[in-house]
Amino acid sequence: MNKALRLTFPLVLIVALTTCRSVVRVSSKGKRLHHSEQLIVTRISENAYIHTSYHQTNDFGNVPCNGLIVRDGAEVVIFDTPTKDAASEELIAWIEQELHCRVKAVVPTHFHVDCLGGLEAFHAHGIPSHAHAKTIELAAANNAAVPQQAFTDSLILMAGSERVLVRHYGEGHTVDNVVGYFAKEDVLFGGCLIKEIDASKGYLGDANVNAWSATVDRVKQAYPQVKVVVPGHGRHGDGRLLDYTIGLFKAP
C-alpha cells in the first residue's frame, strides 16, 4: 500500500463510520417516506407521521415546520397544515395514493402561518377544518385562511375507530395554542407550544411567556404516559421535551 493510500484509508474509514452512526441515529427516530423540495413525510410510529414544510422568515431564515398525521383504518386526522397550499396539495395526494386513506379533518393548532398557511387546499378538497374559537378570531383578524368549525375547550375527533383529542391547556406561544393527542399510540402533538431539546425560545411576538411553563406543566400532568412528543419545529422525542420547555420558560 503506497503512502498516499495509507493516509487516505483511515480518513475514509472515519467518514464511513461517522456516516453510519448518523444513519442509525436518524432511522431510530423515524423513517422518511416522502421527500420533495416543499414537503417531507416521516413515519414515527405504526400509525403516526410527521409532515414537514418550510416557511421563510426574516429573523430565523427558512424554517422547517412540523405537523402530524394520525391514522386508523382508512382515515386520518391532520394537525396543522403545510405552510403553503401547494405543499398541502402534495400532502393530500400522498395520503390518498400511498396510505390509501381519506383525510377526515384538519386541525390548525394556532393562528400563525406555519399552522394554517395551506388551509385553503384542504377546504378545496371538501376536508373540514376545526380550531379553537380564538384561532378562528385571530386568523380572521390577520387576513389568514380561516378554519371552519370552532371549539372552546376541547374536541374529540375520530380517525377510523380511534379517538383523537384536541385541547386548550392555556396560553404560551400564543393565546390560542392547543395540543393534539393520539391515545392509540400515546403520541402528543405539541405544536409551537413545545420546544425541541436545546431549542431557543424562538418567536415571542404573540407569546405569554409568564404563563408558558404552567401551561406545559398542565399538558405534562394530563399525559403522564406519553411516548412520543412532536414539537412545532425540530426533532421529536419523548416526555423530556415537555420538561425542557417548562424549564426554558420558568421564571428564575
Distance CA 39, CA 107 (A): 18
Which region, left, alpha or beta, applies to residue 100 given φ > 0 means left and ψ of -120 to 50 means alpha? left
Domains of the chain in start order, with CATH, are 32-249 (3.60.15.10)
CA distance 88 to 67: 11
The predicted structure's pLDDT at residue 57:
85
- Averages of pLDDT over each 10 residues, the chain, 252 residues: 38 31 39 97 98 91 96 98 98 98 98 98 98 98 97 97 98 98 98 98 97 98 98 98 98 85
User: Distance between CA 158 and CA 75 in Å, rounded?
Assistant: 9
Collapse the DSSP code of 127 into the 3-class scheme (helix H, G, I; strand E, B; otherwise coil) and give the result: coil
Look at residue 219 and give its three-state secondary structure.
helix
Interatomic CA distance for residues 235 and 119, integer angstroms: 24
* pLDDT for position 29: 67
pTM: 0.88
Which residue reads 401547494 in cell numbers?
A: 86
Which DSSP category does 175 fall into?
S
